[in-house]
Chains A and B, each alone.
Chain A
Amino acid sequence: MAKAYSPGLQISQRVLHSSRRILPIPGDVLVKVGEQVSSQQIVAQTFMPGDVTPINVANQISVAPAEVPDCMLVSVGEEIRAGDLLARSKGIFGFFKAEMTAKTSGTIESISHVTGQVILRGAPLPIQVRAYQAGTVKEVIPQQGVVIDSEVTFLQGILGIGGEAYGKIQFACQKEDEPLVDSQLNESMRGKIVIGGARMTGKAVKRGIEIGVAAMISGGMDDEDLKEILGYDLGVAVTGSENIGTTLIITEGFGEIAMAARTFRLLKEREGAEAAVNGTTQIRAGVLRPEIVIPLDKNSQADTKSHLKQENALGVLEIGVPVRIIRDPYFGLLGQVGDMPTELRKLESGSESRVLEVALDSGETVVVPRANVELIEG
Chain B
Amino acid sequence: MNSTTVKQLDPDQLNVILATDCGSTTTKAILIEKINGEYRQTYRGEAPTTVEEPAADVTVGVVNAVTEVGELAGRKLIDENGEIIRPAKGNTGCDIYISTSSAGGGLQMMVAGVVREMSAASAKRAALGAGAIVMDTICSNDKRLPHEQIQRIRELRPDMILLAGGTDGGTQKHVVELAELIAPAKPQPRFGGTYKMPIIYAGNQEATEFVEAAFDDDVKLSTVANVRPILERENLAPARDAIHDLFLEHVMAHAPGYNKLISWADAPIMPTPGAVGNILQTIAEQEGINALGVDIGGATTDVFSVFDGTFNRTVSANLGMSYSISNVCASATLPMILRWVHLDMDPRELQNHIKNKMIRPTTIPQSREALVFEQAVAREALRLAYIQHKEFATTLKGVQQQRTVGDTFSQNTSGQSIVDNMKLNLLVGSGGVLSHAPNMNQTAAMLIDAFEPEGMTVLAKDSIFMMPHLGVLAQVHPQAALQVFERDCLIYLGTCFAPRGLYRSGKTCFKYHISGNSLNQSGELLCGEMKRIPLGFEEWAKVIVEPKRGYDFGAGAGKRKEFKVRGGTVGLILDARGRPLMVPAGENNHLAELTSWVQELDLFPENHSK
Contact = CB atoms under 8 A, between A and B. Distances in A.
Interface of A: 1, 3-6, 24-25, 49, 51-54, 65, 109-110, 112, 114-115, 117, 119, 121, 158-159, 222-224, 226, 233-237, 253-255, 281, 283-286, 312, 326-329, 331, 347-353, 368-369, 371-372, 374
17 contacts: A54-B147, A110-B180, A121-B184, A158-B360, A224-B351, A235-B330, A236-B323, A236-B326, A253-B352, A254-B352, A254-B353, A283-B359, A284-B299, A285-B105, A327-B356, A328-B369, A353-B364
Given A25-B188, A351-B438, A114 B359 contact: no
B181 A234 contact: no
B173 A374 contact: no
A369 B359 contact: no
Shortest Cβ-Cβ A-B pairs, 6 listed: A235-B327, A350-B438, A349-B371, A233-B330, A327-B363, A254-B352
Contacts of A255: 349, 352, 356
Contacts of B176: 112, 114-115
B355 A254 contact: yes
B370 interface: yes
A59 to B, nearest CB: 11
Contacts of B360: 6, 158, 253, 326-327, 374
A351 B370 CA distance: 12
Contacts of A25: 188
B180 A54 contact: yes
Interface stretch (B46-54, B380-388, B451-459, B470-478): B46-54
Contacts of B355: 223, 226, 234, 253-254
Most chain A Cβ neighbours within 10 Å, of B24, B180, B181, B353: B180
A331 B363 CA distance: 11
Contact of B364 (A24, A114, A284, A371): A371
A348 B366 contact: yes
Contacts of B43: none
Contacts of A283: 323, 358-359, 361
A223 B354 contact: yes
A331 B329 CA distance: 21
A284 B49 CA distance: 13
Nearest to B298: A284
A369 B354 CA distance: 18
B8 to A, nearest CB: 36
Contact of B353 (A6, A286, A328): A328
Contacts of B173: 65, 114-115
Nearest to B374: A349
A116 to B, nearest CB: 8
A348 B180 contact: no
A350 B186 contact: no
B24 A285 contact: yes
B364 to A, nearest CB: 5
Nearest to B375: A349
A349 B351 CA distance: 20
Contacts of A331: 356
A327 B364 contact: yes
Interface string B40-69: 000000101100101000000000000000
Interface of B: 24-25, 46, 48-49, 52, 54, 103-105, 146-147, 150-151, 172-173, 176-177, 180-181, 183-186, 188, 207, 210, 214, 299, 318, 323-324, 326-327, 329-331, 348-349, 351-371, 436-439, 604, 606
A54 B177 CA distance: 10
B147 A114 contact: no
Contacts of B349: 255
B243 to A, nearest CB: 22
B180 A371 contact: no
Q: Chain A's interface: helix, strand, loop or mixed, by majority? A: loop
Contacts of B437: 351
A349 B367 contact: yes
Nearest to B606: A350
A328 B370 contact: yes
Given A283-B323, A283-B359, A372 B364 contact: yes
A233 B334 CA distance: 12
Nearest to A220: B352
Nearest to B348: A224
A329 B366 contact: yes
B363 A371 contact: yes
Given A223-B352, A235-B324, A372 B366 contact: yes
Nearest to B149: A54
A245 B306 CA distance: 50
A25 B150 CA distance: 18
Contacts of A223: 351-352, 354-355
A233 B366 contact: no
A374 B438 CA distance: 24
A198 to B, nearest CB: 13
Nearest to A58: B173
Contact of B438 (A6, A233, A326, A349): A349
Contact of A51 (B147, B214, B323): B147
A110 B48 CA distance: 49
Contacts of A329: 366-367
A52 B185 CA distance: 7
Contacts of B184: 49, 52, 109-110, 119, 121
Nearest to A330: B366
A109 B186 CA distance: 13
A283 to B, nearest CB: 6
A331 to B, nearest CB: 7
Contacts of B354: 223
B359 A253 contact: yes
A25 B364 CA distance: 41
Nearest to B207: A114
Most chain A CB within a 10 A radius of its CB, from B299, B330, B356, B368: B356
Contact of A254 (B185, B356, B366): B356
Nearest to A367: B366
Nearest to A332: B356
B54 A327 contact: no
Nearest to B605: A350
A25 B192 CA distance: 8
B58 to A, nearest CB: 12
A372 B361 CA distance: 10
A114 B353 CA distance: 57
Contact of B366 (A109, A117, A159, A328): A328
Given A6-B362, A53-B147, A372-B363, A236 B299 contact: yes
A25 B190 CA distance: 11
A237 B176 CA distance: 38
A24 B172 contact: no
B604 A350 contact: yes
Contact of B362 (A226, A312, A371): A371
Nearest to B150: A52
Nearest to A235: B327
> Which residue among B103, B361, B606 has the maximum number of chain A CB atoms within 10 Å of its CB?
B361
A159 B359 contact: yes
A54 B371 CA distance: 54
A49 B356 contact: no
A357 to B, nearest CB: 14
Contacts of B25: 285
Contacts of B299: 236, 284
Given A285-B49, A326-B356, A371-B362, 5 more contacts: A112-B214, A233-B329, A236-B299, A350-B606, A372-B366
Nearest to B361: A283
B544 to A, nearest CB: 35
A348 B185 contact: no
A53 B185 CA distance: 10
B324 A236 contact: yes
B49 to A, nearest CB: 8
Contact of B52 (A233, A286, A351, A371): A286
Contacts of B438: 349-352
A287 B466 CA distance: 27
A110 B185 CA distance: 13
B356 A348 contact: no
A119 B180 contact: yes
Contacts of A3: 48
